[in-house]
Amino acid sequence: MSRISPTISFDAPGKHAGFLRLPHSTHESAYGWIPIPIVCVVGSPGPTVLLIAGNHGDEYEGQVALAELCRALDPADLQGRVIILPAANFPAAMAGRRVSPIDGGNLNRSFPGSEGGSPTEMIADFIETKLLPLSDCVIDLHSGGSSLQYCPTIRARSNPDPGIMERTLTLLRAFGAPYGCIFKPLSGENRTMAAAAARSNVPYLCVEIGGGGSIQQDYLALTNAGVNRILAVSGIAKGEADPPGKTEILSVNGFDNYVYAPENGLFQPLAELGDVVMAGQLAARMHFPDTPWREPAAATFQTAGRVLCRRFPSLTKRGDCLYEIGVGA
């Protein structure tokens, strides 16, 4: 049982817009609820695609793309069902923060959640127990948010089930991002939406496009086109979508694919998005404004590959991620 209650039907034909009502009793509103927007568009019988954005509230490209899709979809054009959750961690989205201002919850580190937990845990529980079981695939739209910038990349968690992996790769190539990334969860991470989808045996894609706390028009257009191709290859959208561009498949296998800040300071990047780098190559210098006579600290790449993301802000603390590197599959 979930304590979250939807105001719309997921089965009735047509387009239905409303809210997931998350009970939240506060000093200002004793019997109040948090209104998480949700849209369900049901055409003739067919498969279901779950589209999610706002998993992190400061990642805007997906939120805007799904808002546009909510307005554009016509049930008469669909052979199946599209469930759209454009601002999944709604408190975080309204605050423009990666995590919820209510409970500090990072939705993508809160699965499987709890039906009686904090607001973020309740959202995770509803997605895992109510929405994923309805779905034939889930597309989770992210960006680098406030702290990172991403090349247009679509990511898939490696899955031991060959059928799910084949279906996932079909969707990945259909999206048409320049780079596709197959990743293994670091340290056995099981709190993400990717892990939740794996537990539900649902093909899952994580779109990582842009970031820096802003929206680029070309990246938004790429996101819109990719989502439309997903709907077409899933057999839901009638008609033909534009053909995808070629996707270079890369892999991220562990901590060696990342570069972290060795000390607090000002991050000077020495490689840019999309660059091909070598193991041992100088990646960054860390400058010390409090002791400017010190020589900068150096960070190096631990593996050869392509730069998929890099840190956006210059002010950096030890342990902050500076780069992610994709290795040729």
- One DSSP character per residue, 18-39 reads EEEEEE---SS-TT-EEEEEEE
Q: Beta-carbon neighbour count of residue 283 at 10 Å?
A: 22
Q: What percent of the chain has pLDDT over 90?
A: 92
Tell me how far apart the alpha carbons of residues 90 and 304 are, in angstroms, rounded to a whole number.
38
Name the helix (H) or strand (E) containing 175.
helix 162-175
Cα distance between the two ends of the chain: 42
Tell me how far apart the alpha carbons of residues 312 and 321 are, in angstroms, rounded to a whole number.
10
CATH number of 5-252: 3.40.630.10
CATH number of 255-328: 2.40.50.100
Tell me how far apart the alpha carbons of residues 3 and 23 are, in angstroms, rounded to a whole number.
7
Which residue type occupies 297?
A
Q: Map tokens 């199946």 to a residue.
A: 80
Name the helix (H) or strand (E) containing 167.
helix 162-175
For position 27, what pLDDT does the model report? 93
Q: Beta-carbon neighbour count of residue 313 at 10 Å?
A: 13
The structure tokens listed for 164 are: 């799910």
Give the number of C-alpha atoms closer than 13 A to the C-alpha of residue 96, restricted to the C-beta side.
5
How far from 194 is each of 141, 185, 198, CA to CA, in Å?
A: 12, 9, 6
Helix, strand, coil in percent for the chain, rounding step 5? 25, 35, 40
How far from 187 is each of 190, 191, 232, CA to CA, in Å?
A: 9, 11, 35
For position 23, what pLDDT does the model report? 96
Ranges of each domain in the chain: 5-252, 255-328
For position 16, what pLDDT does the model report? 98
**pLDDT tens, position by position, 26-47:** 999 999 999 999 999 999 999 9
Tell me how far apart the alpha carbons of residues 73 and 160 are, in angstroms, rounded to a whole number.
34
Cα torsion angle, 202, 133, 123, 12, sign: positive
Q: Tell me the DSSP string of 206-272.
A: EEEEEETTS--HHHHHHHHHHHHHHHHHTT-B-SPPPPPPP-EEEEE-SGGGEEE-SSSEEEEESS-
Name the helix (H) or strand (E) containing 171.
helix 162-175
Tell me how many degrees the CA angle 242-244-246 measures, rounded to the nearest 5. Answer: 155
For position 329, what pLDDT does the model report? 62
Q: Tell me the DSSP string of 122-164.
A: HHHHHIIIIIGGG-SEEEEEE--TTTEEEEEEEEEE--S-HHH
- Flag residues of the chain having pLDDT under 70: 329
For position 228, what pLDDT does the model report? 95
Q: Map tokens 């100088």 to a residue.
A: 282
CA 317 centroid distance within chain: 24
